[in-house]
Amino acid sequence: MIKPDTFRDILELSERRNKKLYEICQECEADSLEISQEEIRDRVKVILDAMKEAIKQGLKSKEKSSSGLSGDDCAKLVKKYKSEKTLFPETLQKVLTYSLATVEQNARMGKIAACPTAGSCGIVPAVIIAMSEALNLDEEAQINALITAGLVGETVSNKLALAGAVAGCQSECGVAAAMAAAGLAQMCEGTNEQILNAAALTLKNIMGLVCDPVAGLVEVPCVKRNAFLSIYAVTGAELALAGIESVIPVDEIVDAMKQVGQMMSPKLKESSEAGLATTTTGTRITEELAQKWQED
Ligand code: SF4
């Protein structure tokens, strides 16, 4: 069976065959790669294990990245949660800490699973792993969620390249948040329509997010953005599971994102020629790092 290119066709196929989105996805992948569906799930488990390991290592470390721009924020948050009253319930505390733990590992050049990219690697693992722990779900449920998230990322990528250099951060952290929202809706046993609404609601509210990394490094604003958008993904799933629908269908949202990405100035697409990268502080940091690297 060949996987359809659009969300609408995937939904139609799933409904016609009375299957969940992840079941259709794993069946199509197995057919396309000529391997069993069990092997597909084994491969996803390897990715899941890498995500868990990145979280574990990230939670243990306070080491700064080589630029010194990031690396100790997760530790600050963990310390706060151990000692002070917080605004968030324990579930969302975990989502925040797991996202920072993962993306700080990326900034330290540790091993992470890009999902969909390295810069946005903290969102999907944080939401799926933290929420599955909170909901007491097993590994099979995590794998189902990860396949669902992958299906969302892949289907968006059929129309829109997932790279800040092509369409801004909406296509990296934005898509990661939509993937995570869909995965979470799957874990909460949402219907196929609710799963796609979770992705749609999340995506359309991140539209237009620019990519303006300071000094061209995937650290500022990327690291903290992963934490923010992880919570955003939980919101998308929560709304969709309540039966709230996106008026604009998800395929059309992706078309709109593509259009917005094409209209976005190249200066706001990973070139570090505008936005946060060229603020007074961003410029100073860029100059200081350039000098440091020249001396090294
Ligand atoms: S700001 Fe740019 S480099 Fe950073 S995560 Fe977003 S797309 Fe990637």
- For 38-52, how does the pLDDT look when each residue is reduced to its tens digit (9 = 90+)? 999 999 999 999 999
CATH of residue 117:
1.10.4100
pLDDT band at 296 (very low <50, low <70, confident <90, very high): confident
pLDDT of residue 61: 97
pLDDT digits (tens, 9 = 90+) for 262-271: 999 999 999 9
Is the shortest distance between the CB of 174 and ligand 1 below 6 Å? no
pLDDT in tens, 134-186: 999 999 999 999 999 999 999 999 999 999 999 999 999 999 999 999 999 99
pLDDT in tens, 238-255: 999 999 999 999 999 999
Instruction: Determine, yes or no, domain membership for 189.
Output: yes
Looking at residue 280, what is its pLDDT?
A: 98
By the 8 A CB rule, do 1 and 153 touch? no
Question: Distances from the Cα of 230 to the Cαs of 11, 40, 63, 68, 174, in angstroms?
Answer: 25, 26, 23, 24, 10
Alpha carbon of 156 to ligand 1 centroid (Å): 17
In a domain, 122, yes or no: yes
pLDDT single digits (tens) 85-144: 889 999 999 999 999 999 999 999 999 999 999 999 999 999 999 999 999 999 999 999
Give the number of C-alpha atoms closer than 13 A to the C-alpha of residue 71, restricted to the C-beta side. 13
Q: Quote the CA–CA distance of 293 and 45 in Å, as a whole number.
A: 39
* pLDDT score, position 171: 98
Residue tagged 């969102």 (tokens) = 123
CA distance 96 to 77: 8
Decide: 125 and 55 in contact? Cβ < 8 Å: yes
Q: What is the mean pLDDT of the chain?
A: 97
Mutate to test the pocket of ligand 1, among 170, 211, 220, 272 (most ligand atoms within 8 A of CB): 211
pLDDT value at residue 188: 98
**Size of the chain, expressed as the number of residues it contains:** 296
What pTM value is reported for the model?
0.98
> Is the Cβ atom of 270 under 6 angstroms away from ligand 1?
yes
- Asked whether residue 2 is assigned to any structural domain, the reply reads no
Could you tell me if the CB of 209 is within 6 A of ligand 1? no
Q: How many A from CA of 258 to the centre of ligand 1?
A: 16
Answer yes or no: is pLDDT of 84 > 90: no
The whole domain housing 247 covers 7-295
Q: Which among 212, 222, 264 is the best mutation to test ligand 1's pocket, defined by most ligand atoms within 8 Å of the CB?
A: 222
Contacts of 32 (CB under 8 A, 6+ apart): 2, 3
- Structurally, the chain folds into a number of domains equal to 1
Q: How far apart are CA 265 and CA 255, in angstroms?
A: 18
